[in-house]
Structure 1
Amino acid sequence: MDIYAFGPIAAILDAAYGALTALSALLEPLAGTAASAAAVILVTLLVRALLIPVGISQAKAEQTRARLAPRLRELQKRHKKNPEKLQRETMQLYKDENTSPFAGCLPVLAQAPVIGILYTLFLRTDIAGHANELLTHDLFGASLGTSLVTMLFTGPFSLPTLVVSGVLIAIMIVVAEITRRIFRPVAVDDSPMSSPGMLGMMNALHYLTAVFAVFVPLAAGLYLTVTVVWTLVQRVILRRRYPLPTSV
């Protein structure tokens, strides 16, 4: 069964296709065959601009969590032998401060539908029963509908795809490393979240976007690249606006 033929999903894809092709047509006199790539960049910037309030909330939540770190350490010492009570007291503390240990996940969740739509638009040869003209566009000769993995393992080999995908992934890795160094998680003594294994996993998550980009069409990889760069710049600006306590 083709889930993309299901009425509501097909309608959403067709509407997104119409909007993106219209934007590409507007940009084509300036961008040529890279018009769709330029459209993807503009869509990414629009989505990120709409999520600025969410980013501000995330920065405030990080500031609150850092401020709560000494009290969390005290709870760890007080209820070290009673994990259930420790969990209740910890969640109550977050509740009293009107925040959550999971605050900050919303930007990722909010973008998931956009990435999913872009992935589909540059994956299918037809959209709602008509030919997908977006697949005729490229970025510096690299097809927007081809992923690095697909090109390497099923062919045909394309040097532009290899180079453009490699550059985008390299940018994501560099941004991930900068982000990891600047925004280290606040450690809480004896907390499971502060264990070497957990901290190692959290550091590895910074590079997950680059890994994901290997498997998605180049258009989605372009969206991810612009997103991670925007996110880093935004977090740096907001960290200055909402600095963490100097001593936690």
Structure 2
Amino acid sequence: MGDFFSAIATPLYYAISGILLFWHRVVTLVLSPENGWSWVLAIVGLTVTIRALLIPLFVKQIKSSRNMQLIQPKVKELQKKYGHDRERLAQETMKLYKDTGTNPFASCLPLLIQMPIFLVLFRLVNKAAHNEAKGFLSVADVHHFADAKIFGARLADTFNGTHDTSVRVLAAVLVVAMCATTFFTQRQLMAKNMPAEAMQGQYAQQQKILLYVLPFVFAISGIAFPIAAMLYWTTSNVWTMGQQFYVIRNSPAPGTPAEKAKLERDREKAARKAARHGGTVASVDSADVAEAPAADDRRPAARQQPKKQTRSQRKSK
């Protein structure tokens, strides 16, 4: 099992350490290599780089989540119709996923891909704390990283690995920040971009479970995470919140509070534009439709055909 993990982790060691060193070299144009904040900014740069590379998967995640929300009424109908036959229900549900182009596992892809990266970063930091170089990190880089401090705490320190008060305070703050950003990232998606009918489906129940389970898991395991790893995960959550905010604001799912808010903003924008040009914005409603000319009235008059004449009448003309 260890050999299998090493075979997977070795390329990640080189990739993560290479990106980390690149950003550290950039930051050290301003700060000294030993400065703890140079490594903190390098970790932020590493996070931004990885999340930027994951944008295509994030787009698939948003589309899959939206489709899962929109097909919930149809899933409920299938459950009522084939609830007595689990095998047929599974077949019809998979057919529905295929017809609508929905992948129920796509919403987990960014998280599943990030977990190995997080674990490798976790081990990379632990190795550096014991002066062991991995990937592209040199012995000098490892020494600088192992001794790097912010607010009196080393980046390789953990909450349960020391009795230093300053380290424990900073680690506790980061554990809370990591759990809070995880919670609000999931809450943002459920509160703003899920239609009312989807909030009662099986998919919504799974989302509600994750809403509370994931922060709890991070709260328990976070006391063993190095400060550097918690900085990475918290920064990643902040990126996700901003990314979701942009997508939900500009491309909300139909029938959601976010869509209503966007329509209201569009109306206000149209009203301001019309006011600048001295016009008014006409709202399309039933009264406007009633006042509009009927389709038959707008249709051009039919051409009148000439009367049929006899041969003698045509000769006389």
- TM bucket (normalised to shorter chain) is 0.7 to 0.9
The alpha carbon displacement at 1:217 in A equals: 1.2
Task: Please say which structure displays the higher CA radius of gyration.
Answer: 2
Q: Which residue in the other structure is 1:65 paired with? A: 68
Count of matched residue pairs: 237
CA distance in 2, matches of 1:181, 1:138: 33
Residue 204 of structure 1 aligns with an amino acid whose one-letter code is: Y
Residue 147 of structure 1 aligns with an amino acid whose one-letter code is: T
The alpha carbon displacement at 1:108 in A equals: 1.1
Q: Which residue in the other structure is 1:147 paired with? A: 158
Residue 181 in structure 1 maps to residue 187 in structure 2: yes
> Judging changes above 3 Å, is the alpha-carbon distance between structure 1 residues 41 and 210 closer, same or farther for their aligned structure 2 residues?
farther
CA distance in 2, matches of 1:182, 1:90: 27
> Judging changes above 3 Å, is the alpha-carbon distance between structure 1 residues 235 and 8 closer, same or farther for their aligned structure 2 residues?
closer
The alpha carbon displacement at 1:81 in A equals: 1.0
CA distance in 2, matches of 1:221, 1:61: 28
The alpha carbon displacement at 1:135 in A equals: 0.9
Identity, % of aligned positions: 28
The aligned runs of 1:61-140 (5 Å cut-off) are: 61-124=64-127, 125=130, 126-128=132-134, 131=139, 132-133=142-143, 134-140=145-151
Q: TM-score w.r.t. structure 1 length?
A: 0.81
CA distance in 2, matches of 1:18, 1:74: 51
Residue 183 of structure 1 aligns with an amino acid whose one-letter code is: L
The aligned runs of 1:157-172 (5 Å cut-off) are: 157-172=163-178
Q: Which residue in the other structure is 1:238 paired with? A: 247
Residue 84 of structure 2 aligns with an amino acid whose one-letter code is: K
The alpha carbon displacement at 1:2 in A equals: 8.1
The two structures, once aligned, show a CA RMSD in angstroms of: 3.0
Q: Which residue in the other structure is 2:23 paired with? A: 23
Residue 227 in structure 1 maps to residue 233 in structure 2: no
The alpha carbon displacement at 1:141 in A equals: 1.8
Asked if 2 retains the 8 angstrom alpha-carbon contact of 1:34 and 1:140, the reply is no
> Judging changes above 3 Å, is the alpha-carbon distance between structure 1 residues 128 and 166 closer, same or farther for their aligned structure 2 residues?
closer
> Judging changes above 3 Å, is the alpha-carbon distance between structure 1 residues 70 and 200 closer, same or farther for their aligned structure 2 residues?
closer
The alpha carbon displacement at 1:221 in A equals: 0.7
The alpha carbon displacement at 1:16 in A equals: 4.4
Q: Gaps spanning 5+ residues in structure 2: where?
A: 257-317
1:183-234 per-residue CA deviation (whole Å, 9 max, x = no partner) reads 3373455x4x566xx5653222341344443222111111000011111121
The alpha carbon displacement at 1:10 in A equals: 5.6
Asked if 1 retains the 8 angstrom alpha-carbon contact of 2:78 and 2:93, the reply is yes
Asked if 1 retains the 8 angstrom alpha-carbon contact of 2:121 and 2:229, the reply is yes
The alpha carbon displacement at 1:242 in A equals: 3.1
Q: Which residue in the other structure is 2:42 paired with? A: 39
> Judging changes above 3 Å, is the alpha-carbon distance between structure 1 residues 239 and 7 closer, same or farther for their aligned structure 2 residues?
closer
